[in-house]
């Protein structure tokens, strides 16, 4: 096997064919490395066998071991049900299998001993299970059984088999220990291979709480390596930046004043201050590398426009890259309108453009006629040739990894001149954390909101009382207002029974509000499907959009008056604040409803109270770090759009300093390990930087 495991395609794993490759890609899994980093979302304890007579609670999950006493098929055709009667010394359990396959009939024989795991229900006082999971009664029960996030086309049994096969392929050649043991004394004692094995199959003695919070020693060991690789990449970027030549771009006060006067509003003091910081950087012959943090609605687009104006006014080009096509279109619409009076031409490049439309835009870019180019990552494809690109603006930069930032620099370099880079994020990060995570960048903060923003009223409601929301939703949707309904799961989970999923939420809303148009969007959908759903919602063709946190950074929908967040206690404060920012985009009174379980912890209640009391993203981010408790089990991993595969910027702050120290030592004393670590975690970025 290739020693760079992060470049080894997932179809190298036994049993993974073309269909599975396509399905896994929807989960962001394309390599063996991605597959073993697809950590469980929960675990099943199958070590405890429950006697059938002791089953008493509706909805509980249990393991039953018994002997098949008889079978029967009820009904015909697609509506037929295969019933299995499983008996132990205390009673009999009926198991109903819907949509069964012929081979299942052949596998089930009378007097056969089997084990099943599933949800218990009762009919006429008798216990039953529907479509449980079967497993061999003699299987080793000394470890928890993992539960994974799935997508259409992959069943749980298949995912477990794929990951186990991948784990079996690991060895000292393809998963070498790249951090010297003397640098990680606290997290040593286990090889990286053993850590992966323990995460996917933890011993029954392990703490489920620690595993769920990614705080086990095995998780920390892998997270520490990823953070170390990240710090090494920052060292690399910083050294590259110091070696590179930039073009000093002069300020143009008259043009800037003309532009500001043409705006229908007055920029905030924070916008003007941050713009001055950017213009100062642009005037240096060292490439700018600045991060602008701005809370939801702080006006980052205007800052990007003023930076671009300085560059275009000097006869050069600026490119603005957004993570999604709908956001790119939104930027293009706003910025084109801003520059209309100055006769500055823009070009837009999106993956969905047809050949003729794309060709027209490419000509505008190559000729230099278009001063500002806006799009997704499509603006840096091989077919795009810039006349004189000198500024790259990356919106929502946390959605683009270090490897992509390296690619951008490589693509845009020309005649020995490296373009200036301005990154922007709406995720407030405490300054001390930002300095560690983005050590290669200068940081500016937009800490002032434009006047006129409608305050969002935030309230907490028990999940059991969510029916109270329905009349208000119906009344307002009849007035052409709209609602976001956010869930932390895509599909129903066996291990997170209290968590609402998008499928069931949509069914619940459609049943109770049959006259409203309801759509769904989540991270496991194809990009085109997500875009289509968001566009329909933006156009007002959908009343309620049921979604996962994939809409955390989304489009402006001024008519959205309410966002309902189910299982709010499972999110971090910073993420809840981002989600809340989807409403209050217009002048209508807006609300955020935090639906919480009755079993919410005291720390969870404290977090909800912070959100109810404050709309300051930076204050909320600081409090998030102070009081975050259990929860955030799903976090942003489900969206598939975070730059880290195992680490979490907020959760793992206690490891950042150690990672920085280790990275510095490796950079100075173990250069061969530095190269291999970067290849393991950032295979594309390493290649790009060497190109």
Torsion angle of the four alpha carbons 213, 215, 218, 219, in this order, in degrees rounded to the nearest 10? 60
CATH superfamily ID and name for 456-614: P-loop containing nucleotide triphosphate hydrolases (3.40.50.300)
pLDDT tens-digit profile of 642-679? 468 888 776 787 888 899 899 999 999 999 899 999 99
Judge whether 410 and 688 are in contact, CB under 8 Å.
yes
Beta carbons within 8 Å of 219's beta carbon, 6+ residues apart: 39, 195, 199, 211, 646
327 versus 670: which is more confidently predicted? 670
Q: Which CATH number fits domain 235-446: 3.40.640.10, 1.10.510.10, 3.40.50.300, 3.40.50.620?
A: 3.40.50.300
pLDDT at 691 over 80: no
Q: Which of 68, 39, 88 is nearest to 645 (CA)?
A: 39
Mapped to the 3 state alphabet, what secondary structure does 465-487 carry?
A: HHHHHHHHHHHHHCCCCEEEEEC
Tokens encoding 30: 């394309």
In this prediction the pTM is: 0.63
CA pair distance 496, 614, nearest whole angstrom:
30
- DSSP string computed for 591-612: EEEEEE-TT--HHHHHHHHHHH
Fold of 48-135: OB fold (Dihydrolipoamide Acetyltransferase, E2P) (2.40.50)
84 versus 213: which is more confidently predicted? 84
CA pair distance 108, 457, nearest whole angstrom:
57
Tell me how many degrees the CA angle 557-561-564 measures, rounded to the nearest 5: 105
- pLDDT value of position 435: 65
Judge whether 656 and 227 are in contact, CB under 8 Å.
yes
Dihedral angle sign, alpha carbons of residues 691, 12, 22, 155: negative
- pLDDT value of position 238: 79
Domains 48-135 and 456-614 share a fold: no
Q: Of the given ranges (317-321, 324-328, 537-541, 670-674), which has the lowest mean pLDDT? A: 324-328
pLDDT over 70, % of the chain:
88
pLDDT at 353 over 80: yes
**Cα 383 off chain centre by:** 29
CA pair distance 420, 248, nearest whole angstrom:
10
**Cα 273 off chain centre by:** 32
Tokens encoding 95: 């198991």
Q: Of the given ranges (134-138, 180-184, 249-253), which has the lowest mean pLDDT? A: 134-138
Residue 445 belongs to what H/E stretch?
A: strand 442-446
Mean pLDDT value across the chain: 85
pLDDT over 90, % of the chain:
45
- pLDDT value of position 101: 74
Domain parsing of the chain, residue ranges:
1-44+142-177+191-199, 48-135, 235-446, 456-614
Q: What is the pLDDT confidence band of residue 494, given thresholds at 50, 70 and 90? A: very low
- pLDDT value of position 124: 87
Q: Which of 498, 542, 494 is nearest to 520 (CA)?
A: 542
pLDDT tens-digit profile of 184-216? 876 567 899 999 999 999 988 888 878 877 888
Judge whether 390 and 419 are in contact, CB under 8 Å.
yes
Half-sphere CA count of 645, side-chain side, radius 13 A: 24
Residues in the chain: 691
- pLDDT value of position 44: 86
Judge whether 607 and 284 are in contact, CB under 8 Å.
no
CA pair distance 340, 492, nearest whole angstrom:
49
pLDDT at 323 over 90: no
pLDDT tens-digit profile of 435-463? 666 767 888 988 887 776 778 999 999 98
- pLDDT value of position 457: 94
Beta carbons within 8 Å of 79's beta carbon, 6+ residues apart: none
CA-to-CA dists, residue 541 to 220, 261, 482, 559, 591, angstroms: 46, 36, 10, 12, 21
Tokens encoding 310: 């300085």
Q: Where are the alpha helices (DSSP H) in 6-125?
A: 18-26, 32-36, 102-107
- pLDDT value of position 248: 95
DSSP at 141: -
Rounded to the nearest 5°, which phi and psi values hold at 462? -70, 140
CA pair distance 96, 71, nearest whole angstrom:
10
Q: List Cβ<8 Å contacts ≥24 apart for 324-327.
A: 324/376, 324/527, 324/530, 324/531, 324/534, 325/350, 325/351, 325/352, 325/376, 325/527, 325/531, 326/531, 326/534, 326/535, 326/538, 326/554, 326/555, 327/395, 327/396, 327/553, 327/554, 327/555
CA-to-CA dists, residue 524 to 149, 527, 536, 640, angstroms: 10, 9, 18, 8
In this prediction, residues 71-75 reach a mean pLDDT of 85
Task: Give the start-end residues of each E strand in 330-425.
Answer: 346-349, 372-375, 389-394, 420-425
In this prediction, residues 244-264 reach a mean pLDDT of 92
Cα first-last separation, the chain: 24
CA pair distance 488, 570, nearest whole angstrom:
8
Judge whether 400 and 421 are in contact, CB under 8 Å.
no
CA pair distance 525, 548, nearest whole angstrom:
11
318 versus 491: which is more confidently predicted? 318
Beta carbons within 8 Å of 333's beta carbon, 6+ residues apart: none
Judge whether 42 and 637 are in contact, CB under 8 Å.
no
Q: What is the CA radius of gyration of the chain?
A: 27
Q: What is the pLDDT confidence band of residue 141, given thresholds at 50, 70 and 90? A: low
DSSP at 418: P
Q: Which of 63, 19, 28, 6 is nearest to 149 (CA)?
A: 28
pLDDT at 475 over 90: yes
Beta carbons within 8 Å of 539's beta carbon, 6+ residues apart: none
Tokens encoding 249: 């771009």
- pLDDT value of position 634: 26
DSSP at 86: E
636 versus 330: which is more confidently predicted? 330
- pLDDT value of position 268: 93
pLDDT tens-digit profile of 500-544? 778 889 999 999 999 999 999 887 777 778 888 888 998 999 999
pLDDT tens-digit profile of 552-607? 556 788 899 999 999 898 887 878 888 898 898 878 899 999 999 887 888 788 88
CA pair distance 96, 119, nearest whole angstrom:
12
In this prediction, residues 417-422 reach a mean pLDDT of 90
pLDDT at 274 over 70: yes
- pLDDT value of position 296: 74
Buried b (16+ CB within 10 A) or exposed e, 633-645: bbbbbbbebbbbb
pLDDT tens-digit profile of 5-43? 888 999 999 999 999 999 999 888 999 999 999 999 888
């Amino acid at each position: 096997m290739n020693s760079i495991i992060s470049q080894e395609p997932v179809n190298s794993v036994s049993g993974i064919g073309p269909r599975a490759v396509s399905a896994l890609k929807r989960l962001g899994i394309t390599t063996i490395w991605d597959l073993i980093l697809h950590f469980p979302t929960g675990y099943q304890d199958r070590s405890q066998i429950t006697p059938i007579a002791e089953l008493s609670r509706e909805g509980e999950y249990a393991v039953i071991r018994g002997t098949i006493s008889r079978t029967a098929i009820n009904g015909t055709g697609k509506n037929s049900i295969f019933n299995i009667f499983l008996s132990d010394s205390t009673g009999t359990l009926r198991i109903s299998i819907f949509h069964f396959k012929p081979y299942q009939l052949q596998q089930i024989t009378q007097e056969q001993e089997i084990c099943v795991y599933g949800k218990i229900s009762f009919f006429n006082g008798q216990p039953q299970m529907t479509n449980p999971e079967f497993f061999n009664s003699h299987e080793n029960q000394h470890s928890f059984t993992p539960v994974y996030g799935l997508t259409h086309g992959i069943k749980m049994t298949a995912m477990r088999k794929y990951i186990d096969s991948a784990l079996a392929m690991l060895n000292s050649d393809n998963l070498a220990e790249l951090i010297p043991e003397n640098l990680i004394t606290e997290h040593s004692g286990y090889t990286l291979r053993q850590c992966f094995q323990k995460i996917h199959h933890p011993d029954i003695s392990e703490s489920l709480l620690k595993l769920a919070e990614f705080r086990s020693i095995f998780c920390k060991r892998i997270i520490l390596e990823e953070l170390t690789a990240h710090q090494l990449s920052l060292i690399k970027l910083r050294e590259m930046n110091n070696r590179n030549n930039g073009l000093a771009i002069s300020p143009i006060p008259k043009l800037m004043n003309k532009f500001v006067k043409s705006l229908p509003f007055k920029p905030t003091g924070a916008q003007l201050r941050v713009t001055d910081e950017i213009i100062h950087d642009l005037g240096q012959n060292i490439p700018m590398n600045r991060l602008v943090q701005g809370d939801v609605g702080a006006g980052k687009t205007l800052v990007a426009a003023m930076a671009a104006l300085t560059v275009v006014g000097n006869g050069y080009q600026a490119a603005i890259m957004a993570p999604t096509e709908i956001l790119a279109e939104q930027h293009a619409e706003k910025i084109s309108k801003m520059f209309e009076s100055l006769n500055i031409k823009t070009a837009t490049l999106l993956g969905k453009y047809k050949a003729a439309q794309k060709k027209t835009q490419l000509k505008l870019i190559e000729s230099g006629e278009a001063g500002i180019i806006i799009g997704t990552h499509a603006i840096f494809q091989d077919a795009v040739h810039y006349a004189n690109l000198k500024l790259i603006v990356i919106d929502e930069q946390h959605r683009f990894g270090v490897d992509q930032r390296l690619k951008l620099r490589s693509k845009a370099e020309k005649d020995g001149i490296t373009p200036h880079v301005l990154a922007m994020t709406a995720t407030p990060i405490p300054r001390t954390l930002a300095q560690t995570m983005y050590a290669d960048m200068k940081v500016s903060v937009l800490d002032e909101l434009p006047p006129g923003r409608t305050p969002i009223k935030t309230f907490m409601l028990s999940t059991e009382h969510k029916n109270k929301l329905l009349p208000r939703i119906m009344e307002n949707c009849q007035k052409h207002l709209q609602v976001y309904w956010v869930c932390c799961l895509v599909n129903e989970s066996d291990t997170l029974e209290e968590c609402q999923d998008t499928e069931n939420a949509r069914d619940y809303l459609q049943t109770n509000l049959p006259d409203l148009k309801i759509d769904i969007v989540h991270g496991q959908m194809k990009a085109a499907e997500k875009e289509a759903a968001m566009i329909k919602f933006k156009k007002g063709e959908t009343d309620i959009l049921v979604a996962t946190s994939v809409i955390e950074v989304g489009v402006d929908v001024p008519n959205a008056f309410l966002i309902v967040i189910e299982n709010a206690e499972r999110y971090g404060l910073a993420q809840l604040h981002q989600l809340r920012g989807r409403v209050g985009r217009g002048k209508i009174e807006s609300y955020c409803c935090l639906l919480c379980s009755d079993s919410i912890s005291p720390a969870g209640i404290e977090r909800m109270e912070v959100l109810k009391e404050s709309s300051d993203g930076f204050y909320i981010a600081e409090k998030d770090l102070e009081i975050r408790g259990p929860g955030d089990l799903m976090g942003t991993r489900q969206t598939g759009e975070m730059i880290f595969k195992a680490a979490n910027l907020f959760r793992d702050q206690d490891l950042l300093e150690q990672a920085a120290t280790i990275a510095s030592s490796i950079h100075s004393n173990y250069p061969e390990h530095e190269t291999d670590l970067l290849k393991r975690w950032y295979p594309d970025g390493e290649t790009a930087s060497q190109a």
